[in-house]
């Protein structure tokens, strides 16, 4: 969870500093990136994509990280199909968010506003198109803003989903609140405390339930969403949050954990709704992280355990797609950034199409010659 970019030798520093104090700005940081801004891959679905941001406040509970705040404020970014062709492309993140993410990650090889210039594909504040569309909640890894899952979100929206990405306030290096203030990572101070990871997962489940209440009833555009077709996809601690949300809230009909240790525990009675593990070599059966081995037998419904042996923790996010503009080079033999994004988009969409749209997916039935990087653990992982 604490690793950021295990793509190159210098990324070991990022792993060690995920929750330590930010490094001081370097005066000799380059004034421009030689390769220009990063560009996210185009969505693969047939529909154009719009996006907008909502700021929601849960007055029923205090913020778990900021003891001076008596309500929990969340930023939720929505992506959705639109007919609008022209318009301003949505920013990837603000210059301040880029600065805090790079400083928190101890990256000083590029100007601190570099990531704010990343080019996206969604039209800002475009009018949504459609009614009663399936909803996918996205939850990012610890210390990461929601923007680091933008490529996946845009692709799902182009395939006919409404996507709600949650910035879990005070759990990332930067979250811009409704009044323009930028909340930093207060949860980082507790990252080494016993039980902190489980608390993070449970807190994310509470965030998800509140957001579902708001989007399916209170939000003006609630008729865009089919409240009977909801899934959650999370990366790292967001994956643990997906497990926790499914245990706590039956509205979440299906879930995907992308390379996240499952700190949230599943009851002994099991979890009978569809679930998919999608991970790196750390999550092979008997591997370094044994939480998937533990929980596999408790998944009593439709399930898959897929591993990309050449992937690393961030291969399921945008981080490899933007690494070159912040001076990070991939290690030999590592899954190329574009291929990692393609595999993530393809298998997550196949899972969601099967369980939210009732479309049979042969891709999920076994290994594919088109995607040989993906190992199925359906036979070797089953220990129940």
Residue 281 CA to residue 347 CA, distance in Å, equals 17
CB atoms within 10 A of CB 120: 22
Q: Which pLDDT does position 379 carry in this prediction? A: 52
CA distances from 109 to 10, 27, 103, 229 (A): 11, 11, 11, 44
Q: How would CATH label the architecture of 11-25+41-376?
A: 3-Layer(aba) Sandwich (3.40)
Residue 200 CA to residue 278 CA, distance in Å, equals 20
Residue 275 CA to residue 372 CA, distance in Å, equals 22
39 is written with which tokens? 């560009």
126 is written with which tokens? 């475009």
Which residues of the chain, if any, have pLDDT below 50? Answer: 1-34, 381-384
20 is written with which tokens? 């330590």
Residue 73 CA to residue 233 CA, distance in Å, equals 21
Residue 363 CA to residue 367 CA, distance in Å, equals 7
The answer to whether 271 touches 247, Cβ cutoff 8 Å, is yes
Q: What is the largest CA-CA distance in the chain?
A: 57
Q: 103: part of which helix (H) or strand (E)?
A: helix 95-104
Name the 3-class secondary structure at 31.
coil
Q: Determine what percent of the chain is predicted with pLDDT higher than 70.
A: 88
75 is written with which tokens? 């930023």
Q: Which tens digits make up the pLDDT trace of 275-313?
A: 999 999 988 888 888 899 999 999 999 999 999 999 999
Q: Which residues contact 173 (CB under 8 A, 6 or more apart)?
A: 97, 100, 101, 103, 104, 105, 143, 144, 145, 184, 185
The answer to whether 110 touches 35, Cβ cutoff 8 Å, is no
48 is written with which tokens? 């154009």
224 is written with which tokens? 């865009």
The answer to whether 145 touches 174, Cβ cutoff 8 Å, is yes
């Amino acid at each position: 969870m604490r690793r950021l970019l295990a793509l190159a030798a210098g990324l070991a520093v990022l792993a060690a500093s995920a929750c330590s104090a930010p490094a001081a700005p370097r005066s000799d940081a380059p004034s421009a990136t030689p390769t220009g801004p990063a560009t996210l891959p185009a969505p693969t679905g047939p529909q154009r994509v719009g996006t907008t941001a909502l700021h929601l406040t849960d007055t029923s509970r205090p913020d778990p990280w900021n003891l001076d705040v008596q309500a929990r404020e969340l930023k939720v970014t929505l992506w959705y199909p639109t007919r609008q062709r022209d318009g301003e492309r949505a920013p990837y993140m603000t210059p301040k968010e880029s600065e805090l993410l790079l400083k928190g990650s101890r990256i000083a090889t590029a100007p601190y506003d570099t990531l704010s210039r990343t080019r996206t594909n969604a039209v800002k504040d475009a009018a949504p198109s459609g009614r009663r569309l399936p909803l996918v909640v996205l939850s990012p890894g610890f210390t990461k803003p929601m923007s680091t899952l933008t490529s996946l979100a845009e692709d799902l929206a182009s395939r006919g989903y409404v996507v709600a990405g949650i910035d879990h306030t005070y759990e990332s290096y930067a979250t811009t609140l409704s009044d323009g203030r930028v909340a930093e990572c207060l949860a980082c101070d507790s990252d080494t405390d016993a039980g902190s990871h489980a608390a993070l997962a449970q807190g994310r489940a509470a965030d998800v339930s509140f957001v579902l209440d708001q989007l399916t009833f209170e939000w003006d555009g609630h008729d865009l969403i089919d409240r009977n077709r909801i899934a959650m996809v999370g990366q790292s601690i967001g994956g643990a949050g997906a497990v926790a949300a499914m245990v706590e809230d039956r509205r979440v009909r299906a879930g995907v954990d992308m390379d996240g240790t499952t700190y949230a525990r599943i009851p002994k009675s099991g979890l009978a709704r569809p679930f998919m593990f999608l991970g790196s070599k750390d999550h092979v059966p008997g591997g370094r992280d044994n939480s998937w081995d533990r929980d596999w037998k408790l998944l009593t419904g439709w399930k898959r355990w897929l591993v990309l042996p050449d992937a690393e923790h961030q291969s399921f996010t945008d981080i490899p797609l933007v690494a070159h503009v912040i001076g990070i080079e991939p290690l030999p033999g590592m899954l190329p950034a574009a291929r990692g994004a393609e595999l993530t988009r393809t298998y997550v969409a196949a899972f969601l199409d099967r369980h939210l749209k009732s479309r049979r997916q042969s891709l999920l039935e076994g290994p594919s010659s088109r995607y040989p990087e993906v190992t199925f653990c359906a036979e070797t992982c089953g220990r129940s």
